């Protein structure tokens, strides 16, 4: 965000606050509404971020009450000065506001038609949004458009090269395209950035198996079994190690099968001390 824009917004914020304080005796509703608006926005302006998003429409719901306070009381003040009857002016004001809101809502609802439309709109009004590029990639991948998904995953990775989810997801897109070598590259990067990530190691092992690299597939299964054991999930560790053993035996790798047999004993509750 440009510095001049930040300074302009800050000056506007301070200016409105100063006017609200200056006119507090004559128009107390302005101060009440304005500081309600500012006060309820403070928890969600990003100084203390809640969740993975810095901005969201829902953050303005409570704050909008402050704006409505200013509007409602301003209508009454306006009616007094122009000698309108309050009922007439309020009716006109409500009609105009509802008409405006109807038009804006109609436009906004179109963006919520489906996830793809929503994510495309989000990208149009934000910058360097690697999370939404990743989410849009997921939608495209689920709807059978791996090329489009890869394009958005690539954007996400260019913005944030350490974003493990996008690295794993682009690997899945390459699997759908049958490009297993590329899938190995991205699954490996994801597993290195996020050590102990079960899904990345499982995907990597699966691709190695499809490539006929049985030894490397077994290695990934052994890593997965170890991770399960470290998490205390010995049943999963045992089942994964048994799959690795089956692969080693079917591949005729007796020495490796013997190693896995030793690891299997460690995953059995009676041997682990549980």
CATH number of the domain bearing residue 242 = 1.25.40.10
Least confident interval from 201-210, 221-230, 261-270: 261-270
Asked if 264 and 151 sit in the same domain, the reply is yes
69: domain range? 3-109
The residue out of 83, 109, 135 marking a domain boundary is: 109
- Residue 155 confidence (pLDDT): 96
Asked if 244 and 120 sit in the same domain, the reply is yes
Asked if 73 and 99 sit in the same domain, the reply is yes
Look over the chain and give the mean of its residue pLDDT values, rounded to a whole number.
87
What pLDDT band is residue 49 in, cutting at 50, 70 and 90? low
Cβ burial 145-166 (10 Å sphere, 16+ → b, else e): bbebbbbbbebbbebbeebbbb
Asked if 234 and 133 sit in the same domain, the reply is yes
Asked if 129 and 255 sit in the same domain, the reply is yes
What pLDDT band is residue 255 in, cutting at 50, 70 and 90? confident
- Residue 75 confidence (pLDDT): 78
What pLDDT band is residue 86 in, cutting at 50, 70 and 90? low
Least confident interval from 32-41, 175-184, 203-212: 32-41
Q: CA 201, CA 192: separation in Å to the nearest integer? A: 10
Asked if 141 and 25 sit in the same domain, the reply is no
Asked if 229 and 135 sit in the same domain, the reply is yes
Q: What angle do CA 66, 104, 33 make, to 5 degrees?
A: 5
Asked if 21 and 124 sit in the same domain, the reply is no
- Residue 274 confidence (pLDDT): 45
Percent share of the chain, pLDDT over 90: 49
Asked if 70 and 39 sit in the same domain, the reply is yes
Domain count, the chain: 2
What's the pLDDT tens digit per position in 131-176?
999 999 999 999 999 999 999 999 999 999 999 999 999 999 999 9
What pLDDT band is residue 52 in, cutting at 50, 70 and 90? low
> 147 versus 268: which is more confidently predicted?
147
Asked if 52 and 188 sit in the same domain, the reply is no
Asked if 135 and 203 sit in the same domain, the reply is yes
Asked if 243 and 168 sit in the same domain, the reply is yes
């Amino acid at each position: 965000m440009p510095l001049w824009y930040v300074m302009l917004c800050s000056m506007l914020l301070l200016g409105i606050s100063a006017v609200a304080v200056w006119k507090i005796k004559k128009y107390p509703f302005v101060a009440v509404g304005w500081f309600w608006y500012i006060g309820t926005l403070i928890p969600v302006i990003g100084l203390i971020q809640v969740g993975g998003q810095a901005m969201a429409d829902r953050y303005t719901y409570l704050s909008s009450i402050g704006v409505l306070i200013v509007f409602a009381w301003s209508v009454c003040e306006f009616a007094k000065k122009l000698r309108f009857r309050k009922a007439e002016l309020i009716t006109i004001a409500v009609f105009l506001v509802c008409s405006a809101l109807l038009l804006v809502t109609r436009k906004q609802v179109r963006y919520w038609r489906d996830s793809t439309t929503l994510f495309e709109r989000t990208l149009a009004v934000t910058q360097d949004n690697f999370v939404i590029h990743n989410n849009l990639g997921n939608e495209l991948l689920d709807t059978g458009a791996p090329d489009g998904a890869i394009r958005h995953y690539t954007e996400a990775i260019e913005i944030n090269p350490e974003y493990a989810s996008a690295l794993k997801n682009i690997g899945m897109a390459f699997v759908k395209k049958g490009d297993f070598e590329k899938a190995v590259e991205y699954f490996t990067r994801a597993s290195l950035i996020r050590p102990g990530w079960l899904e990345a190691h499982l995907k990597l092992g699966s691709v190695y198996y499809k490539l006929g690299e049985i030894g490397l597939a077994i290695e990934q299964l052994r890593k997965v079994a170890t991770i399960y054991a470290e998490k205390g999930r010995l049943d999963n560790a045992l089942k994964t190690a048994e799959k690795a053993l089956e692969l080693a035996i079917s591949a005729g790798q007796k020495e490796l099968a013997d190693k896995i047999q030793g690891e299997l004993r460690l995953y059995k509750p009676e041997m682990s001390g549980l």
